[in-house]
């Protein structure tokens, strides 16, 4: 595997991206990347500060002759989603990302790459640190903890930014301009349980669902990939009825904005049923493989005998939990009736985990229609309230409504046509860009989003297209040169 990213073109962008891959930056562990950004600004004489929310704001004056242009805020986020393959030994808090070149793609070895949104940061630094790029007044806003609640964007105070236009660099299909995005809502459900003794003559199994592709719960949700939590609980429900299965513990999924790739549970069945249970799991695996063969061909469902657990989740709670999770809405709920191919409303059953007498279930809901998002939250709440769980709906944030008369949109459509001889696609994204939140305190900002092509973000399959990065960079430079007059 060739690992020399710094030899790629455009060199100044890839050099910065390589440096960023060396700095650990999972969500909520962003001190090192913040210090790196501030140190880079100091080294290059760039005005910079960190605000109370952990965001980094940088400023650079216009180049000669460009002082009359509208100020542009280049915006990205500093954190990344920490996802790895189950057999990969890796500490996201300490280890650098092992990035490498594979043909026309840059990938990571068994982990997320962090091109989301490291490419945005790299491009911003390449602009700010250059002395040969023509531009008007520039600010950079690099937000904190975007991936787990958009903390930095929510904490950004009014009056910090001076610009007129915000260019978000966090979208993931080159050649597309994004002018709208979905809002979000967290649904958190909690069951309390009593511990019960393991019946005599029981056999214990570790049941595992693995090999699913997962991915970004907004961008990839339209692909209808398998959800490891739903696959696991479908099996548990079947085996509870057929074999008297008892549940000891469960640990499914990971981050709220990643489609679950893996889930596991420790269960018991009567010893006399152990052989039949193994065979039923093998049959179930064949069924799931057939159902998901066009989208998740690597799925596996296994049951390996293990040591008897110390206790079991009480029978009543087990029954209510299994039915609630199995019946929970998941995936695409409604496609947009006005924009072909765009998901309007969806939900991701992201996490199911038991510990210390409590079982936590978490879903992330998305919609570009606020009323649909709220109603979907109430639907999920209804399922779990009927099952006796405590339900909290929180973390709601608004979407970003498109403005088709936007001056920066008109300028960037014209710039793209000049550069590439064709019109860019103008669309919205079923993901939570920070634009809608930032606009709360900056309603005057004209906004747009674009970026290079990044496939499978939020999963270890994440990769960024090398040719698209060059087109993205050239387009960014043309956007700066063509900024509208004040």
Write out the catalytic residue numbers: 79, 146
Q: How many CB atoms lie within 10 A of CB 293?
A: 11
- Integer-rounded Cα Rg, in Å, for the chain is 24
Residues belonging to the chain: 486
Instruction: Using the structure block, give the residue that is written with the tokens 């490891």.
Output: 228
Paired with 304 in beta bridges are 206
Of 208, 293, 292, 197, nearest to 248 by C-alpha is: 197
Please name which of 421, 237, 430, 252 lies closest in space to residue 323, comparing C-alpha atoms.
237
Query: What's the helix, strand, coil split of the chain in %, to 5?
Result: 30, 30, 40
Contact present, 236 and 263 (Cβ < 8 Å): no
What is the Cα–Cα distance from 412 to 441, expressed in whole angstroms? 24
Dihedral of alpha carbons 56, 57, 60, 62, sign: positive
Within 10 angstroms of residue 17's Cβ, the number of other Cβ atoms is 27
Residue 346, phi then psi, degrees to nearest 5:
-155, 170
Provide the 10 A C-beta neighbour count for residue 158: 9
d(CA 369, CA 144): 26
- CA 203/CA 304 separation, integer angstroms: 10
Residue listed under structure tokens 């990769």: 463
DSSP 201: S
- 3-state class (DSSP) for residue 171: coil
* Helix or strand (DSSP H, E) at 141: strand 138-143
Residue that the structure tokens 């091109």 belong to = 115
User: Residue 401 in 3-state DSSP?
Assistant: coil
Per-residue HEC secondary structure of 276-317 comes to HHHHHHHHHHHHHHHHHCCCCCCCEEEEEEECCCCCEECHHH
| Number of separate helices (H) and strands (E) present in the chain | 11, 25
In angstroms, the CA 466 to CA 359 distance is 43
Distance of CA 238 to the CA centre of its chain: 31
């Amino acid at each position: 595997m060739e690992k020399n990213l710094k030899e790629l073109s455009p060199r100044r962008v890839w050099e910065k991206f390589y440096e960023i891959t060396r700095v650990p930056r999972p969500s909520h562990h962003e001190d090192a990347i913040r210090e790196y950004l501030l140190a880079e600004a100091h080294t290059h004489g760039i005005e910079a500060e960190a605000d109370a929310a952990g965001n980094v704001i940088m400023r650079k004056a216009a180049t000669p002759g460009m002082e009359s242009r509208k100020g542009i805020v280049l915006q990205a986020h500093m954190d990344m989603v920490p996802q790895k393959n189950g057999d990969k030994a890796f500490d996201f808090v300490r280890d650098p990302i092992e990035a490498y070149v594979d043909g026309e793609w840059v990938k990571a070895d068994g982990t997320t790459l962090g091109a989301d949104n490291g490419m945005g940061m790299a491009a911003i630094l390449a602009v700010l640190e250059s002395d040969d790029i023509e531009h008007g007044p520039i600010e950079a806003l690099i937000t904190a903890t975007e991936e787990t609640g958009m903390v930095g964007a929510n904490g950004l105070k009014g009056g910090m930014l001076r610009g007129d236009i915000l260019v978000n660099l966090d979208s993931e299909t080159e050649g597309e301009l994004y002018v709208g995005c979905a809002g979000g809502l967290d649904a958190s459900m909690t069951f309390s349980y009593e511990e019960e003794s393991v019946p005599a003559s029981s056999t214990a199994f570790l049941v595992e669902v693995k090999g699913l592709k997962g991915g970004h719960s907004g961008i990839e949700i339209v692909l209808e990939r398998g959800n490891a939590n739903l696959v696991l609980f479908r099996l548990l429900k079947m085996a509870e009825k057929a074999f008297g299965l008892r549940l000891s513990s469960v640990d499914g999924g990971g981050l709220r904005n990643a489609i679950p790739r893996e889930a596991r549970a420790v269960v018991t069945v009567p010893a006399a049923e152990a052989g039949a249970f193994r065979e039923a799991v093998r049959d179930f695996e064949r069924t799931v493989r057939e159902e998901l063969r066009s989208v998740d061909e690597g799925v596996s469902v296994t049951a390996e005998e293990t040591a008897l657990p110390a206790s079991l989740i009480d029978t009543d709670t087990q029954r209510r939990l299994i039915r609630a999770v199995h019946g929970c809405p998941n995936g695409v709920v409604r496609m947009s009736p006005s924009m072909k191919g765009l998901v309007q409303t969806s939900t991701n059953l992201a996490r199911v985990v038991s510990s210390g007498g409590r079982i936590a279930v978490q879903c992330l809901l998305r919609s570009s229609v606020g009323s649909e998002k709220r109603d979907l939250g109430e639907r999920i709440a209804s399922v779990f309230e009927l099952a006796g769980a405590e339900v909290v709906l929180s973390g709601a944030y608004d979407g970003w409504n498109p403005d088709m008369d936007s001056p920066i949109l008109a300028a960037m459509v014209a710039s793209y046509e000049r550069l590439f001889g064709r019109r860019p696609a103008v669309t919205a994204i079923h993901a939570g860009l920070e634009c809608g939140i930032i606009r709360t305190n900056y309603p005057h900002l004209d906004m747009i989003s674009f970026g290079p092509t990044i496939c499978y973000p939020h999963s270890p399959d994440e990769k960024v297209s090398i040719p698209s990065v060059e087109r993205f960079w050239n387009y960014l430079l043309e956007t700066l040169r063509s900024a509208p007059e004040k």
